[in-house]
A and B are shown apart, each in its own frame.
Chain A
Amino acid sequence: MKYVLLFVDDGEFLHDLEAMGPAERERAVQQVMDWMAAHRDKIKGGNKLRPPETATTVRLGGGDPVITDGPFLEGKEIVSGYTEIEVADLDEALRMVRTWPGCPIVEIRPLE
């Protein structure tokens, strides 16, 4: 089955990331790269997203489209990237996510 993993940052995580020194940050990035490499055979694509201030939201349905600055959900939790994976079932996806070394929240969504 195909799933998308949505990686979600929260304020604390971003704060911690900013507070890191260069060596520590490099280590954190390396951990994510290692995770990606370890699951290479299951990962079918994905990207990191630019920060939420670069987002533009368009609301349709009800007269003219309303265009606003920022992500569609206001809040501390921000989608920061996504990865498409192909695994046997939800348990395999869960096992993969359990060792994710990056952001503190991951949403698993099956694809149609």
Chain B
Amino acid sequence: MADAARDELASVVREHAGRLAVALMRVTGDFATAEDLVQDAVLAALQHWPVDGIPEHPDAWLFTVARRRALDGFRRADNYRAKLEQLRQLRQPGQPAEDERLRLIFTCCHPALPREAQVALTLRVVCGLTTGQIARAFLVRETAIARRITRAKRKITDAGIPYRVPADDELAARLTEVLTVIYLLFNEGYLATAGPPPYRDLAEEAEWLATLLHQLMPAEPEVAGLLALIRLHRARAAARFGPEGGLVLLEDQDRSRWDREAIADAVQLLTRAARRRRPGPYQLQAAIVACHAEAERWEDTDWEQIVLLYDMLLHLAPSPVTRLHRAIAVRYTAGAGAAMAELDDLAGALSDYYLYHAGRAELLRELGHPDQATVADLRALELTTNPAERAVLEQRLA
């Protein structure tokens, strides 16, 4: 199938899978059953649509398949008459209240579920990915993903995880959980190189989810912050890889290939969010990325501002990795010596982190220690399996 057709298929499935899940939840009252039916319908669509074309009303098509499967299932159940009656009354998924799609997301990302299960469930139920697609995107065996999902669904039922949007007093903590899942998906997709078809780009799924969440919760500045962060990265994606597929460092990127319009839109989104005066880690990270994205040339980068934003970020969410990124920025405001002093403080916490050693190598080279720089680059190479990152290091060592 051509790329365009595959993209369209993916976006139609994505648009309708969650709605279908919501409609089926209403009938069956059971998350696990609804989820199974959605998956059946999606698999049927992936089988038929590439051959027959995407139907005029994909939602009705998916619903019919799910309904048929549900009837088969209910016939075997004890209380099938009541269910059958409910199902007969429900003709079309229609447009469920948006609130219901939110419930779906919050249930998938419930903190009582392990992170990996949150991710897999969200992709399957909200985005309509098949188990196989999730497995390929994460380079994990399909049986492992299937087991993860089965376990998670059993826990939702057995442990009484509710299907609802959290109350106001728990919303902040629960929203953090949802944002973490989306951010993780984005990172996973952003670092990966495209896999074999039918491949679904996780960075695209993440942007779609963040967009949906922003529509559903427009007053949450951190949701807007995460969406802006994802869009600012994706707006520059075209320049990230060279003609041979190698990763191009920010400094060397052809900035004429950045999507200036998309960058301006994302910055506007971020500015609107900032007006709510509730800063958070995603808004700050987006602001840092915006400093890079708005610079016409590498030399125009506002490093003072970037260091300041990192200070704010560290105040809200202290982490050695963030300190490392701040130290890398310090190189351009206070020099390589100052940056190196900061890095030395992080030696214990980040000794197994490839970027720590790669960053150190650059500083060592600038400070006139090429041999030590090579040692650091070799250590970095040992610590990453990502092919794009490895290629950059290997080129530096060659």
Whether A110 and B170, one on each chain, are in contact in the complex, defined by CB atoms closer than 8 angstroms, is no
Chain A interface helix/strand/loop/mixed: mixed
Contacts of A95 in B (CB 8 A): 167, 170
Whether A90 and B164, one on each chain, are in contact in the complex, defined by CB atoms closer than 8 angstroms, is no
A3 to B160, CA, bound (A): 9
A29 to B162, CA, bound (A): 32
Residue on A nearest B169 in the bound complex, by CB: A95
A32 to B234, CA, bound (A): 52
Q: How would residues 142 to 186 of chain B score, 1 for a CB under 8 Å from any chain A CB and 0 otherwise?
A: 000000000000000011111010110010000000000000000
B112: CB under 8 A from chain A? yes
A90 to B167, CA, bound (A): 13
Whether A90 and B159, one on each chain, are in contact in the complex, defined by CB atoms closer than 8 angstroms, is yes
A3 to B161, CA, bound (A): 12
Whether B159 and A110, one on each chain, are in contact in the complex, defined by CB atoms closer than 8 angstroms, is yes
A37: CB under 8 A from chain B? no
- Smallest Cβ distance from B106 to chain A, in angstroms? 10
A1: CB under 8 A from chain B? yes
A23: CB under 8 A from chain B? no
Contacts of B158 in A (CB 8 A): 110
Whether A91 and B159, one on each chain, are in contact in the complex, defined by CB atoms closer than 8 angstroms, is no
Whether B112 and A90, one on each chain, are in contact in the complex, defined by CB atoms closer than 8 angstroms, is yes
Contacts of A93 in B (CB 8 A): 160
Whether B170 and A89, one on each chain, are in contact in the complex, defined by CB atoms closer than 8 angstroms, is no
Chain B: interface size category:
10 to 19
Residue on A nearest B162 in the bound complex, by CB: A89
Whether A90 and B161, one on each chain, are in contact in the complex, defined by CB atoms closer than 8 angstroms, is yes
Total of A-B residue pairs, C-beta within 8 Å: 28
Count of chain A residues with Cβ under 8 Å from any Cβ of B?
Answer: 11
A3 to B159, CA, bound (A): 9
- Smallest Cβ distance from B163 to chain A, in angstroms? 9
Residue on A nearest B158 in the bound complex, by CB: A110
Q: How would residues 73 to 97 of chain A score, 1 for a CB under 8 Å from any chain B CB and 0 otherwise?
A: 0000000000000001111011100
Cβ-defined partner of B162 (8 Å) among A91, A108, A110: A91
Contacts of A90 in B (CB 8 A): 110, 112, 159-162
Cβ-defined partner of B166 (8 Å) among A91, A108, A110: A91
Contacts of A3 in B (CB 8 A): 160
A93 to B164, CA, bound (A): 15
Contacts of A91 in B (CB 8 A): 161-162, 164, 166-167, 170
Cβ-defined partner of A110 (8 Å) among B110, B160, B164, B167: B160
Which parts of B116-161 form the interface with A (CB within 8 Å)? Answer: 158-161
Contacts of A94 in B (CB 8 A): 112, 170
Residue on B nearest A3 in the bound complex, by CB: B160
A91 to B103, CA, bound (A): 13
Residue on B nearest A110 in the bound complex, by CB: B159
- Smallest Cβ distance from A112 to chain B, in angstroms? 9
Contacts of B160 in A (CB 8 A): 1, 3, 88-90, 93, 110
Which parts of B41-84 form the interface with A (CB within 8 Å)? Answer: none
Residue on A nearest B112 in the bound complex, by CB: A90
Contacts of B159 in A (CB 8 A): 90, 108, 110
Contacts of B166 in A (CB 8 A): 91
- Smallest Cβ distance from B171 to chain A, in angstroms? 12
Contacts of A89 in B (CB 8 A): 160-162
A91 to B169, CA, bound (A): 12
Contacts of B112 in A (CB 8 A): 90, 94
Residue among B110, B159, B166, B170 with most chain A CB within 10 A: B159
A110 to B158, CA, bound (A): 7
Contacts of B161 in A (CB 8 A): 89-91
Residue on A nearest B164 in the bound complex, by CB: A91
* Chain B interfacial positions (CB closer than 8 Å to A): 110, 112, 158-162, 164, 166-167, 170
26 CB < 8 A contacts A-B:
A1-B160, A3-B160, A88-B160, A88-B162, A89-B160, A89-B161, A89-B162, A90-B110, A90-B112, A90-B159, A90-B160, A90-B161, A90-B162, A91-B161, A91-B162, A91-B166, A91-B167, A91-B170, A93-B160, A94-B112, A94-B170, A95-B167, A95-B170, A108-B159, A110-B158, A110-B160
Known: A90-B110, A94-B112, A95-B170. 6 other contacts (CB 8 A): A3-B160, A89-B160, A91-B161, A91-B162, A91-B166, A93-B160
